[in-house]
Amino acid sequence: MLNTRELKANIKRILRTDYIKTIDKAKDYEKYNALSKAIMELTIDNWDKTIEVYSNSKQAYYLSAEFLMGRALGNNLLNLGIYEEVKEVLEELNIDINDIEEIEEDAGLGNGGLGRLAACFMDSAATKNLPLTGYGIRYSHGLFKQSFKNGFQVEKADNWLKYGDPWSVRRDEDTVIVEFADCSLKAVPYDMPVIGYKTSNINKLRLFKAEPLEDFDFELFNSQEYNRAVEKKNRAEDVSRVLYPNESTAEGKTLRLKQQYFFVSAALQDLVRNFKKYHGNNFDLFKKYNAIQLNDTHPVIAIPEFMRILIDEEKVEWKKAWEITVNTFSYTNHTILREALEEWDIELYKKLLPRVYEIIKIIDGRFIRELGEEGYSYNKINSMKIIYKNKIHMAWLAIHGTHATNGVAKLHTDILKNQELKDWYELYPDRFLNKTNGITPRRWLALCNKELSGFITELLSSDSWITDLKALKELEKFAGDKSVLNKLLDIKQLKKQQLSEYIRINEGVETNPNSLFDIQIKRLHEYKRQLLNAFGILDLYFRLKENPDLDIIPRTFIFGAKAAPGYFRAKGIIKFINEIANLINNDESISNKIKVVFIQNYRVSYAEKLFPAADISEQISTAGKEASGTGNMKFMLNGTPTIGTYDGANVEMVQEAGEENNFIFGARMEELEKIKETYDPIEYYDSVKGLKRVVNTLIDGTFDDGDTGMFEDLYNSLLEGASWHRPDNYFILKDFDEYRKAQDKVDKAYRDRLGWARKCLMNLAYAGKFSSDRTIMEYAKEIWGIEAKKI
């Protein structure tokens, strides 16, 4: 039980000591910090106990460039089981908990699905009492804050730490030094508690901040060379300043590599130091007590860095060091897109990390000899070399230097085995396995959709589903219960009203909560095909203009996405969608039928409002291109049918919930593989009714791209291609008509309200497979070899 009197006193105490204020005079962010610090005090004893219990068993370590955690306060209160009690305490202090939650900045520690998956895994590991520690970078600024000016994306600094960070503890005593050829940096750890749901265990996310060995040169300052006096400090802090710095220049590439090596080296030094504390220098025991997961290729430099530490610092001979390394490390592949598999110029490695490069070169040389002894041909060896044509292939290093490589959905893993990584699968068949992604039901249902969560608990007479999501299958028995179905519709309507109000306040746009909410929220990338969605909307608009009496369900199309700062085409698609929105939203003749909203600065806290309010989930990537997707799962968990392709985790989702309860369209991967060499988009452009009209708006003056050439580039990418890809590389024109027909099916199905509610219920009932609790337990058992340890 929460001691509410003590909590009140602590909040008041912290406000007095930190801000010299009373509650009635404190600002919302000050109240937020005081409350958060008071809650943090409740965790310290169990946090210490967890560390001690874990120290006696095998532990796993998750190395990731991103941890997209989202807001901490609400999630931590939920997991501690004290949300309602704290809410009552705040009411007694005349504080609205919603105001306090809204003032919290989203932690700028991640960008997309990769980082959000890492965050879900951390939550699930803590909930399941698994000894898992996360390692990453404490970025002082996130990717960027997005806004729109004249429809163009504008990027501003994401200073998420402007009000401080009450959920992290600086641990100076654990600082390590990271050595580059041109400088040495301090890696200062900040520890963030990861609170499991209804358990006393508290896991740890350790993030490193880069600082100089000497942060101020007094002699230079005294000589009035003020800029030079702090130059080393600024350059050092650049390493942990911004998530994913622009790599368009040599300086940007150098900074990106420094980031990767910085947190990996710091993590491994920290890990080895802890091992030696409990087990001395007996590195034969290392793999028995440690498992390290590399989340994509960003931290793969850990393999040669760990070899360097073992060989150079711990004096372990090569053969034993390599055996320890391979048996300790495992690798998650998140993409089949070759351009997303990292490659690094060897000259940059030689210049910045000469010893690490030497070790990679030795690893590659030994590997080449092994392949030669196995009878591999010259050409085959070249295709698998870790160093080839002056490039270091990080994915190849990852597969060779680990004991497990996993995909993140069954289709994705099959593609890796049979196509993209076929040679590697034939070489190491026992190393490849699948781990379909999952999401935490705590944040993505229990926290963000309390109305639906409460109704589920009422129907099942238990809240045990929050940690055993497969229990949702019991909901299927209500598929014919009109009162249950109507209640589901009422909850969805309430969430739509809440979202409409939030959009009105934050975007200045009025939306109709009685319309069908059609939502596509994810990173902006060509293969995710936001452009296909845009073409579909524009086609519907033109059809309405031709036939004002066209019978359609009123629909609100909602987009949320950030384009990488250097991704010209993605920015062009954002501008195009905003141009469409401007056209449609200002046309009074169709204002009650369709509306388009592109929300600004899409992030976790915005997503928590969008997922519960969606009527239809857009998962329309080119078949075979999306590794998994987790946004699709969040929609499903909130009772939303999918309109999508047979791609990524969509495949497993419709297998669970039934294709009849979703809207699958488009060419499948097998068909696209057969036709990719002969495919001619002009055939579709010329023959599909209405398609030429919408495509031509890119160049016929319908819309204005401000003379940037963005729209012409999009047009040419579809019909002419470019030096690096074929025309219509993502088959937008091919799938357009099927997409339009699928949307017509959505319109028809939505009119049958109870039938629609049944589709929603079936998606919810069969979302249980897609819990990150299930995924993390599979990692623990089948890859890491760790067991739950409850304090």
Where do we find the tokens 């027909």? 741
Token look-up 């000050």 returns 30
Q: Residue type for 729, please?
A: N
Bridge partners of 62? 134, 293
How many C-beta atoms lie closer than 10 Å to residue 699's C-beta?
15
| DSSP assigned state of 1 | -
Q: If you count them, how many residues does the chain have?
A: 791
Residue 714 in tokens: 């999009």
Closest CA to 145 of 161, 157, 135: 157
Sorted by sequence, the CB contacts under 8 Å of residue 225 that are 6+ apart come out as none
Task: Give Cα 449 to chain centroid, integer Å.
Answer: 20
Which candidate in 412, 634, 759, 769 is catalytic? 634
Catalytic residue, from 630, 640, 642, 645: name it: 630
Active site residue 634: yes
CA-to-CA dists, residue 7 to 12, 72, 90, 217, 420, angstroms: 9, 18, 10, 44, 55
Marked catalytic residue, from 298, 496, 523, 529? 523
For residue 248, count other CB atoms closer than 10 A to its CB. 10
Alpha helices in 109-174 (DSSP H): 113-127
- What single-letter amino acid sits at 424? W
What sign does the dihedral 179-390-292-281 (CA atoms) show? negative
Do 591 and 630 meet the contact criterion of CB atoms below 8 Å apart?
no
User: In angstroms, how far is CA 91 from the centroid of its own chain?
Assistant: 34
Judge whether 528 counts as a catalytic residue.
Answer: yes
Active site residue 249: no
Take residue 147 and report the two structure tokens written for it.
């806004």
Catalytic residue among 71, 241, 287, 522: 522
Q: What are phi and psi of 516, to 5 degrees?
A: -75, 125
Residue 525 falls in the annotated catalytic set: no
Q: Which of 528, 529, 603, 769 is catalytic?
A: 528
What Cα–Cα distance (Å) separates residue 181 from each residue in 253, 327, 471?
16, 29, 55
Of the residues 204, 241, 308, 334, which is catalytic?
A: 334
Known active-site residue 523: yes
**Residue 352: what residue type?**
L
Catalytic residue status for 412? no
Which sequence positions are flagged as catalytic?
Answer: 334, 522-523, 528, 630, 634
